Amino acid sequence: MAHFLKPWSILSARSSRTEHADQCFQSQNCIRSPECFVQENFGRQEQHLEQHYNDVLQTLSQRYDDRETGLQEEKKSKLESLYKQLVACGQALDTSKELIETAQEVYRCQDERLFLKVAQLGLLRDFFFLEFAKEDIDLSLSTSLEFSTPLADLSDVKTMMDSINVVPAPSAPVINPQLPNSATQTSLHVCWSLFSDDTVEYYELYYRPVLEDTPADSTCVKVKETHCTVTDLLHNAQYELWVTATNTTGISPASEKALYMTVPSPPAIKQRECSSCPEAALIRWESGNTNPVDSYIVELSETGTVGAESNITESIVAVPTCQCLIQLQAGRQYLISVRAVNIGGPSDRSDAITISTTGTFFYLLEDTAHPCLSMSEDGFTIFYGDEELCVAILGDLIPVRGRHYWEVEVDDETEFRVGVAYEDTERDGYLGANGSSWCMRHIRTPSRHKYEFLHNGWSPDLRITVHPVRIGVALDYDRGTLSFFNANLEQHLHTFHCRFHNYVHPCFSLDNPGALTVHNGIQAPDYTFI
């Protein structure tokens, strides 16, 4: 029986590259480099080929054994049949020889009587001789000397050989880092590549959201190209992605996992926390996203002077926090919106707000209001109707040096304090009673209206004969002045001279039950800055 030998390439030891891959993946400190993935695929493919060749050789060996057994049995059958035929031929020859010898003896005899006697004695035997002579002795071989050797059916072996794919399994793909502007609010465009010229039939991209509480199930997408856009995702969500490559030989190792992010949701501008002046505007907003964003873009469209329109558009990019101070031109009107930005790209625009630079504009800060104060719906009037206390509220800080103007409307029965204060002024003190606040105070006495202009508890001795119903407040950082006016009479009341080292808040206080209304966003009269 012949012995089938494995090819030398199958029996030989693995190459040094395969040994390197084995050592590399057994090491705890090995960095899985692209070379390691190639070596791993090489070793796996070598084992795959060896297994296929072993299966083919085992099948051929079994076929050989089966065919050899059949031939041996056929040989034995032919030899037995030939032996029986030879025995029969030998017996026929012996009988023929005996009859021939008897006939020869009779022929040689000259005595006719003896011939007849012999003939009589051999009558019975002659009968058999005649009968034997009648027989047609077949001396041809009844058994064929040829062996039937039909062609072996090796179709299954051919199928096995065809299934041996010499194309190696792909190496692990490399998923690319996320490119800027490669996402929308609900989709991600993912790209990857291969280190070598691998033959790939298709790729499988896996992705799942990164959640804090429980791990999410992954989703698989099968694609032919080295890129894919996945949809129906969450806003401003972080996704973990990895990819495998597949061909007829097998599946590659998975790529390293990469993190991608969808585009954020639009921010929400906090209109009541926005302020402006003729030279700038302070815009504040909420992110509106659970995950942090990289930066913000503030976009503004100028509508020209109030009532006119213009197509000029500007953008302020890379704003790091949820507020931005924008330099503007006086006497204009702007539409301002905000976008949130991460690696995936910018969000849609927020709802726009209108900003006018006609004058200084700010809202009263509700979180600074005394609990006894009430505010109107528009946020510019404060009410106080309980016991006599000094209750105050701050206006929003205006972090722009320059000129600012606003007006305060009060009735003649309300006791009030109107002025400015540094942000770190103690909240439980009276406005004007310390060195970090300045104010105009109205006190109602039985005989007259008393007015004081307080700073650090001291007031000059001034007497105002006409009660101002509408008080104008002019703040000039550059000149270091804080002036008060009777706006109805265009009358100057008093001016503090102080170099303001920090920005100040407008301040408003009620010392008895009453109401106070703030008017801002109005152009400063010319007489206020003479």
In a 13 Å sphere around the CA of 298, the CA atoms on its Cβ side amount to 23
pLDDT tens for the chain, 530 residues long, are 334 333 333 333 344 434 443 443 343 334 445 455 556 666 666 776 777 778 778 888 887 888 888 788 878 888 888 888 888 788 878 887 877 877 777 667 656 665 566 555 554 455 555 555 555 555 565 666 666 666 666 677 667 666 665 677 888 999 999 999 999 999 999 999 987 778 899 999 999 999 877 788 999 999 999 999 999 999 889 999 999 999 988 899 999 999 999 999 999 999 999 999 999 999 999 998 888 899 999 999 988 654 445 566 789 999 999 999 999 999 899 999 999 999 999 999 999 999 999 999 999 998 888 888 889 998 899 998 776 667 788 898 778 888 999 999 998 888 999 999 999 888 778 899 999 999 999 998 888 889 999 999 999 988 888 889 999 999 999 999 999 999 999 999 999 999 898 999 999 999 888 899 999 999 999 898 76
- What is the pTM for the complete model shown? 0.65
CATH architecture of 174-261: Sandwich (2.60)
Q: What is the distance in angstroms between the CA of the first residue and the CA of the last residue of the chain? A: 123
DSSP class of 361: B
- How far is the CA of 154 from the CAs of 56, 138, 221, in angstroms? 11, 42, 40
For residue 73, the model assigns a pLDDT of 83
Domain 268-356 in CATH 3.40.50.300? The answer is no
Identify the three-state secondary structure at position 378.
Answer: coil
Q: Which H or E run contains 83?
A: helix 34-108
For residue 160, the model assigns a pLDDT of 64
**Superfamily of structural domain 366-529:** SPRY domain (2.60.120.920)
CB 209 within 8 A of CB 248: no
Q: Which H or E run contains 72?
A: helix 34-108
Phi, psi of 276 (to 5 degrees): -155, 165
In sign, the C-alpha dihedral spanning 24, 26, 30, 34 is positive
Alpha helical stretches, state H, 110-190: 112-121, 123-134, 155-163
Of 196, 165, 169, nearest to 253 by C-alpha is: 169
